[in-house]
Structure 1
């Protein structure tokens, strides 16, 4: 703001609802000293003007460091007054606009006379300031506006006639090789937008540092700022280096180790220019659609001027926040200015109007990118093979604080990785399971596949209970693609039934049976499992206890419970024994030790035959095949059938496992996850998720039911209702 006292600055702020964004000089004077007694009334003392402005500037810097929109309510009569902010403006990359009320001297004097006495200003001061303001221009970096509407929303550039394609590239994290695949060959008719996080974590930081600076100078690039760019700024400006210790050690030190002082200073100058060129977001339109690109991702899109740049950079909510779900809901409410959102930073699923380009490229994941043309919107990924293959060990070695610390270093490396979630369980156990990020971003390696239903002693790190290593669906991984199975599998191969319940694990600690789900030894699923198991004859329970204890192994179950139904209907509760596996971190085989498994299951089969119980059985081996042709025929037959089952598990002679789900299961799982559950959660049937006429019939049937009935129903309940009406 600029204007003489009583010119209407505060009124303009009030009229435009800007009080929450305003720092007012008189407010800080009043914080330090109450109104003072004057000759004929009260007044705001100027004696604490210096300390008051120090406070104001401290608060201003705090807001600017967050990237907040700020209104400064002061007279700003001269260039000197505005130049006091110049260092902060350069440091935090701010643009200055000012509004100057067109108020006559006479009106200022009249308004001043009507003010509360302590807010009145001596008339000679108003005369002097009004004259100076009318005759003294502000510096050229200050841009005058006549309405807040000129700046309260960022300009949305129309790229339709400028480029044939827009390519938006996600977090790079020092992965130069993957980036080159994404931008080669370079196309002058494409606008390249980079979402930020250019360095750190990857192993090609030197190449990437010079490449990002080169790219920033090209006319058809837009470079956004990510949360990791603060480390670049700290090095470039020689500030807050204590907050960038790892960056300085792992990124900067290897690059500058052979440089002279002048060369380092030159690099810092180049990086300062690079950092100043970064934007916090980029709104654009292209062939009739609007897009908003940022690093972190927003919950909705109000007038963008009022969004702190730190929100564009770090995003709304926590790293794990399902931003697409929130954004989609707000988009439907008309709260997003019709922008389709594209962001990086957080490993979350895509939505209908919000798309994530964070692919954990630095951990061997993918460099994600989106191409937009006149008639297509496609998302792709480039698999990165140039990364630190032993990054979990190096991550552990760099830690100053550990989440878990046992006597087993391999367990410590696994349990302290950010790719693994750890939970304390009784008795004196940790459970280790891969995170949702690993699952969604497919960050599978020899370590993350082990973190699945793994329970270890908190002191020794010894494995006490465990499940299979994670194994994958047909066509989910290169080694499980149908065309590659002939090279992957060792025949003969067993085909086992895939039952549709939940995984449970049974082990023995100090002669006591321990019941567990994938992640805990407590909770509903554990209780259901335990209750079913304890319905077995006591002698059978004791024999199973002895079998596990003598062989130091765990028994895995698929638990079928009428209290926890899924996709496939079962008439009664049942415990299917899937396998038995040694209580060690590494097994003699890819997923199981076949020899150990067969011996233990044979022993269990002999035990079960002694008891008259229908509650427990070993999962059925449907067939054994000896050639790839036999297996291919069976798979093709099953993939084209619609009988009511989940599918099958393949186990080869080396313990390698893969699985495939049948069409019936996949169809109904999709309807549950994408139609029924969204309707139960928000009360709106998502017809846009219906892929075919049968999906629409399912959605239409839901619309005929009372909403309360739908909310209380499982998928199997809904299917039973449809069957009763002859709709299935």
Structure 2
């Protein structure tokens, strides 16, 4: 077999699903043969059903024997069980006489004898479920020896000598119609066992004669990505290459007719093309054989596409005949197992495994089958599709290749190729697919898994009253913003198709806020299509900063409960989706350029793998969302609060639309967990205004107020209607003032100007306490004693140095501890 290229008609269309019919009289060795083959657990017999339905019965001569009074019910259950196991694609050894329930009637002249009637039924259901049949016929086993063997059975399993002879005679007086089935007869040399095992087992194919073996992942009704200009088969199929499709040719995509028409016309009759049976081939099979549909997706969306392209049931039937349960081959010394759903190990005898296990998988869909395969396998490789819950790469583990990547939803068509030089992986982006919004609108029956998946989506993507225009900035709003003197529009050189809208510095310093400028904050859009790429929060304010955020106004319009989220001390970063470049859009400070955007990008790439970034891009693309982060970079951009390492805190998932909307906290936390992102932390919740007011009164007086033992910049308050305001803690505000003060000392020295500073005010408008004033003046005096080079350091480093001096030889006046 080494080096040969196998004939497709003999190998690629060979069904692995097998039904063994053990024909013979009692005592002829049917059960013994199955035991010697190790197939007892694969057997199905009327005797076993009789034991389940009835206990042994007493005869007139005082013996306990197997109860055969209920044979009609026994054979009904036998047939139902047989078909149920066939639906699962299991290997079945049917231990039977082929004579059905006992009948003393002589068949009418010209009618089909009972054994052939039974065999005809078996052929029909085997055809229905694509099974091959082999009859292991022990009817020629000597009847006298069978009678002796019967005597060695337990009393309850014995059959009367009369019945053995009757069955033996009945088996041998009728000629079986064995057309289309394998027929193996008992002989005295004992060769039946080997011949039957050789029929059961599937040969390992040697594909070393090919230049390479190309494995192609789940297509799921996609076509352009396979055969288009940039696809793996852009130049068609080569004669010197073997091609292995891992299954699921159809469903979910929008090019089902195109892909199946191409497969029928170009691949079906080729010797060098192999197709694995995936779980979605089940639906094509049912249609081809005239069975009832069990999939709305296939019946209402896939099938109309097939019919439109002229696909017939006969075409579908041929495709299903081409499909194999598994492919086990060798290539240049390497052993490879290809299945649709992946195996937990490299099985020695895959022919004993059911189609259900091959096509739907062992364990649940979320199980990391690639990792399990590597743990259980020291030799050989596997290639599969179907599942990839962990978003593994093509070479998921050293020995397992995963070709599933949601190609039908805009992911990659995956390939892996084995050549003399080893393995290579390929990924091809699919651009022809339904949007998530369209897919969700088509869902009519929701499984538990789909219900769980929907919980990861923001509400706006589940609503059916939205259109593509909702993801664009309206012409009216854009014109209004462009005409507003407080709004500036910028176009970065690196992204000439992108514009950003932000309020001007003058608006910020003059506090000239209105309904238009508050929207112009980190608002990015495609300046050709108006599609919103990313957006941040609308500007919101500190308590007391505006009339609307005064405590009096908040008492009137806050809707409780109000939740306080910890506000970390960094800078804002946004991640959106740019459809024109099909990429993530990372920006900060109203631009994707500049040092802050670069700091953010570096942290993103250090926190997330390439695979996670790809998944994040798809999520933001599909859910019409962007994300806002608090970016912490203690190395490049230290602030007032000390952090040990860089981080990015996911603050909110914001809809890419003109009207501000954001996902609720529970979805934020689910998505944070999905992408291993830290999400904003809930600090407390206030049930009414009195509780909020009491807390505010306490916190504004406490320079050492902490949450969970740590200093923070403050909190963001969000009420039940998602109205947002914020509170800055005194510790943060104080050291921000001290930073400004030490910078003034440096400037005054450069300009040779006298420096004076008295701590008389706080940003929140409250008067500083005596302790705050004393600490501020202590720090002022300490700074005046330091050189300008020392004062160039960040406020955190200076605070530490001041604290050390303060606790040693510096004259202490304040009662406040320096943290």
| TM bin (shorter chain) | 0.5 to 0.7
CA distance in 1, matches of 2:131, 2:204: 19
Aligned to 1:645: none
Partner SS state of residue 377, structure 1: strand
Aligned to 2:25: 4
Task: Work out whether residues 283 and 292 of structure 1, in 8 Å CA contact, stay in contact via their aligned partners in 2.
Answer: yes
**Superposition deviation, residue 149 in structure 1:** 4.3
Of residues 77, 80, 83, the one that matches 2:120 is 83
CA distance in 2, matches of 1:183, 1:87: 39
Residue correspondence of structure 1 range 111-150 to structure 2 within 5 A: 111-130=149-168, 136=175, 139-140=178-179, 141-144=181-184, 145-147=192-194, 149-150=197-198
**Superposition deviation, residue 399 in structure 1:** 3.6
1:168 corresponds to 2:208: no
Task: Work out whether residues 393 and 413 of structure 1, in 8 Å CA contact, stay in contact via their aligned partners in 2.
Answer: no
Task: Work out whether residues 151 and 305 of structure 1, in 8 Å CA contact, stay in contact via their aligned partners in 2.
Answer: no
Task: Work out whether residues 221 and 250 of structure 2, in 8 Å CA contact, stay in contact via their aligned partners in 1.
Answer: yes
TM-score by length of 1: 0.59
CA distance in 2, matches of 1:366, 1:188: 26
Distance 1:281 1:406, change over 3 A: closer
**Superposition deviation, residue 343 in structure 1:** 0.3
1:341 corresponds to 2:382: yes
Partner SS state of residue 291, structure 1: strand
Partner SS state of residue 414, structure 2: strand
Task: Work out whether residues 505 and 516 of structure 1, in 8 Å CA contact, stay in contact via their aligned partners in 2.
Answer: no
Task: Work out whether residues 336 and 382 of structure 2, in 8 Å CA contact, stay in contact via their aligned partners in 1.
Answer: yes
1:157 corresponds to 2:187: no
Aligned to 2:271: 219
Task: Work out whether residues 159 and 286 of structure 1, in 8 Å CA contact, stay in contact via their aligned partners in 2.
Answer: yes
1:359 corresponds to 2:405: yes
**Superposition deviation, residue 607 in structure 1:** 8.2
1:200 corresponds to 2:200: no
Of residues 105, 111, 115, the one that matches 2:143 is 105
TM-score by length of 2: 0.53
CA distance in 2, matches of 1:490, 1:56: 72
Partner SS state of residue 183, structure 1: coil
CA distance in 1, matches of 2:24, 2:682: 77
CA distance in 2, matches of 1:224, 1:112: 45
Partner SS state of residue 285, structure 1: strand
CA distance in 2, matches of 1:410, 1:212: 39
Residue correspondence of structure 1 range 659-678 to structure 2 within 5 A: none
Partner SS state of residue 35, structure 2: helix
**Superposition deviation, residue 324 in structure 1:** 1.0
RMSD: 5.2
Task: Work out whether residues 112 and 121 of structure 1, in 8 Å CA contact, stay in contact via their aligned partners in 2.
Answer: yes
Return 5+ residue gaps in structure 2 as ranges.
1-21, 100-114, 185-191, 465-530, 537-558, 600-631, 634-644, 654-663, 686-691, 701-705, 739-819
Task: Work out whether residues 383 and 402 of structure 2, in 8 Å CA contact, stay in contact via their aligned partners in 1.
Answer: yes
1:374 corresponds to 2:420: yes
Task: Work out whether residues 214 and 242 of structure 2, in 8 Å CA contact, stay in contact via their aligned partners in 1.
Answer: yes
Of residues 225, 234, 254, the one that matches 1:184 is 234
Partner SS state of residue 425, structure 2: strand
CA distance in 1, matches of 2:679, 2:430: 43
Aligned to 1:282: 327
Task: Work out whether residues 566 and 712 of structure 2, in 8 Å CA contact, stay in contact via their aligned partners in 1.
Answer: no
Structure showing greater Rg: 2
Partner SS state of residue 172, structure 1: coil
Distance 1:573 1:168, change over 3 A: farther
**Superposition deviation, residue 221 in structure 1:** 0.6
CA distance in 1, matches of 2:455, 2:215: 41
CA distance in 2, matches of 1:528, 1:370: 40
Aligned to 2:669: 519
CA distance in 1, matches of 2:712, 2:666: 14
Distance 1:325 1:581, change over 3 A: farther
Task: Work out whether residues 712 and 732 of structure 2, in 8 Å CA contact, stay in contact via their aligned partners in 1.
Answer: no
**Superposition deviation, residue 520 in structure 1:** 6.7
CA distance in 1, matches of 2:671, 2:222: 40
Task: Work out whether residues 450 and 469 of structure 1, in 8 Å CA contact, stay in contact via their aligned partners in 2.
Answer: no
**Superposition deviation, residue 472 in structure 1:** 9.0
**Superposition deviation, residue 530 in structure 1:** 6.7
CA distance in 2, matches of 1:373, 1:521: 40
Partner SS state of residue 5, structure 1: coil
Task: Work out whether residues 295 and 345 of structure 1, in 8 Å CA contact, stay in contact via their aligned partners in 2.
Answer: yes
Of residues 58, 61, 83, the one that matches 1:61 is 83
CA distance in 2, matches of 1:48, 1:367: 56
Aligned to 1:21: 42
Offset from partner CA, 1:62-116 (integer Å, 9 cap, x none): 1111111211112347544433311221122112234445843331121223334
Partner SS state of residue 182, structure 1: coil
Offset from partner CA, 1:613-645 (integer Å, 9 cap, x none): 99xxxxxxxxxxxxxxxxxxxxxxxxxxxxxxx
Task: Work out whether residues 44 and 118 of structure 1, in 8 Å CA contact, stay in contact via their aligned partners in 2.
Answer: yes
1:609 corresponds to 2:733: yes
**Superposition deviation, residue 464 in structure 1:** 10
Task: Work out whether residues 565 and 716 of structure 2, in 8 Å CA contact, stay in contact via their aligned partners in 1.
Answer: no
Distance 1:463 1:246, change over 3 A: farther
**Superposition deviation, residue 380 in structure 1:** 0.5
Aligned to 1:233: 285
Aligned to 1:314: 360
Offset from partner CA, 1:367-410 (integer Å, 9 cap, x none): 1011111122011111111222x333442353455667999951
**Superposition deviation, residue 306 in structure 1:** 1.8
**Superposition deviation, residue 35 in structure 1:** 3.7
Task: Work out whether residues 99 and 146 of structure 1, in 8 Å CA contact, stay in contact via their aligned partners in 2.
Answer: no
Distance 1:494 1:226, change over 3 A: closer
Task: Work out whether residues 66 and 309 of structure 1, in 8 Å CA contact, stay in contact via their aligned partners in 2.
Answer: yes
How many correspondences in the alignment?
Answer: 509
**Superposition deviation, residue 39 in structure 1:** 5.1
**Superposition deviation, residue 216 in structure 1:** 2.0
Aligned to 1:51: 73
Distance 1:516 1:399, change over 3 A: closer
**Superposition deviation, residue 27 in structure 1:** 2.4
Residue correspondence of structure 1 range 427-438 to structure 2 within 5 A: none
Structure 1, 79-88 or 283-292: larger mean CA deviation? 79-88
**Superposition deviation, residue 200 in structure 1:** 1.6
CA distance in 1, matches of 2:66, 2:401: 53
Partner SS state of residue 734, structure 2: coil
**Superposition deviation, residue 500 in structure 1:** 3.3
1:93 corresponds to 2:130: yes
CA distance in 2, matches of 1:479, 1:526: 22
CA distance in 2, matches of 1:500, 1:560: 20
CA distance in 2, matches of 1:502, 1:167: 41
Return 5+ residue gaps in structure 1 as ranges.
333-337, 415-445, 452-458, 508-513, 547-558, 562-571, 587-595, 615-728
CA distance in 2, matches of 1:540, 1:503: 29
**Superposition deviation, residue 183 in structure 1:** 1.7
Distance 1:515 1:22, change over 3 A: closer
Task: Work out whether residues 327 and 339 of structure 2, in 8 Å CA contact, stay in contact via their aligned partners in 1.
Answer: yes
Distance 1:400 1:381, change over 3 A: same
**Superposition deviation, residue 516 in structure 1:** 9.1
CA distance in 2, matches of 1:406, 1:521: 7
